Amino acid sequence: MADGTEIIAIDPEILHKVASELTAVGERVGEVDARIRSNPIAPGAFGLMNAWMAPPISALISHTAEVVQVTAQLATAVGAATEASAGDFERNEQTIVSGLGSLGQQLDGTPGASGTPGTPAGLSGPDGLDATSGRAILR
């Protein structure tokens, strides 16, 4: 990762809310677009000087509906990917903790055995890890 790059975590619920709001906006823009298509803006309605504005306005409204729809789909996809990533992180964290616990037990020689004299059973002692859970021990 490049210097100055930040990782931003976004709550999937917020992304889903944004997606639904964008979808609602897209539907409204689509309604306006449909009304304009069924009853186009007459260039003369703007007067001769502004007649050039009618076609671009209609095209802009139509394009905006497409942009909003694609943005809503993107927000939904990012939300799903964020949820999947969070699930993967949880599974990986559990695997690592489990692996450290097993490693601690192997280093102790026997599961639940005291690693150092005076250390409670299940603790590895000098390395500061609980042999049964792999978590650090604060003393």
CATH code, domain carrying 24: 1.10.287
Task: Please report which residue ranges of 4-139 form alpha helices under DSSP H.
Answer: 12-38, 54-108
Tens digit of each residue's pLDDT, the chain (139 residues): 556 666 666 677 777 777 778 777 777 877 877 777 777 666 666 665 566 666 677 777 777 777 777 877 887 787 777 777 777 777 888 888 888 888 777 777 655 544 444 444 444 545 555 555 555 555 4
pTM: 0.35
Q: Which domain holds residue 48?
A: 12-92
Cα–Cα distance, 73 to 62 (Å, whole number)? 17
In this structure, is residue 88 part of a structural domain?
yes
- Residue 122 domain-assigned? no
- Asked if residue 109 is part of any domain, the answer here is no
Tell whether 102 is covered by a domain: no
In a domain, 113, yes or no: no
Name the DSSP class of 131. T
Asked if residue 68 is part of any domain, the answer here is yes
Q: How many folded domains does the chain comprise?
A: 1
